[in-house]
A and B are shown apart, each in its own frame.
Chain A
Amino acid sequence: GENVEQHPSTLSVQEGDSAVIKCTYSDSASNYFPWYKQELGKGPQLIIDIRSNVGEKKDQRIAVTLNKTAKHFSLHITETQPEDSAVYFCAASRPRLAGSQGNLIFGKGTKLSVKP
């Protein structure tokens, strides 16, 4: 089955710097890659997602890149702010035709701290 590895497990940056979180996946049939942000005491919230027919997607200060050949995808946060501090999870999912039921396989999370 699918296995998603996420690095680093913790990341500390200075306010205004960029942060990059990387994930690799094992199943070449996976075609959907969402990123979730989890703030303290809250459930994960989708911040951006990308499908395998796209190499990059951007939404204001957040961008995600996908390299299907290498089977890895990354989250980039530019001009970080203290409110970006949270745990971030990547995930991967296979298409229905590959026998999947649409379930997400999550990475183990990255705790991002942005220092003022």
Chain B
Amino acid sequence: EAQVTQNPRYLITVTGKKLTVTCSQNMNHEYMSWYRQDPGLGLRQIYYSMNVEVTDKGDVPEGYKVSRKEKRNFPLILESPSPNQTSLYFCASSFSAYARTGKQPQHFGDGTRLSIL
């Protein structure tokens, strides 16, 4: 089954304790992206990756890191989490940001709810 898998689904942690949220897709997609979803603000992009070893900042990258060592995985790293990073996080992937037939739709994971105390 084609899917984007995020882990963990829920995490409560404390300020300053490094954490990693994993994201894996089994569709051989080139493009992957991380979003955070906050009430009244919709989905805002944190980082994205056009392909292996190619990453770039989205709209709200501060406090986050990513890596793309393999095509299928795109972990989100919070080196020193703070309470303002409490949010619902989504990973998404698409075959390519640009394919011959135009834009490719993004497939989303089911989210990771992070609470940072």
Interface on A for B, CB 8 Å cutoff? Answer: 6, 31-32, 34, 36, 41-46, 49, 51, 89, 93, 96, 101-104, 106-109
| In contact, B103 and A93 (Cβ under 8 angstroms) | yes
Q: A42-B111, A102-B98 are in contact. Are A51 and B103 (CB under 8 A)?
A: yes
27 examples of A-B residue contacts, CB within 8 angstroms? A32-B102, A34-B103, A42-B110, A43-B92, A43-B108, A43-B109, A43-B110, A43-B111, A44-B43, A44-B90, A44-B108, A45-B108, A49-B105, A51-B102, A51-B103, A96-B98, A101-B48, A101-B56, A102-B50, A102-B103, A103-B33, A103-B45, A104-B45, A104-B106, A106-B42, A108-B40, A109-B42
| In contact, B43 and A106 (Cβ under 8 angstroms) | yes
How big is chain B's contact interface, by range?
20 to 34
**In the assembly, what is the distance between CA of A113 and CA of B111, in Å?**
22
Closest to A104 in B: B106
Interface on B for A, CB 8 Å cutoff? Answer: 4, 31, 33, 35, 40-45, 48, 50, 56, 58, 90, 92, 94, 96-98, 102-103, 105-111
Q: A32-B102, A34-B105, A89-B43 are in contact. Are A101 and B111 (CB under 8 A)?
A: no
Closest to B56 in A: A101
**In the assembly, what is the distance between CA of A89 and CA of B43, in Å?**
9
B45 to chain A, nearest CB (A): 6
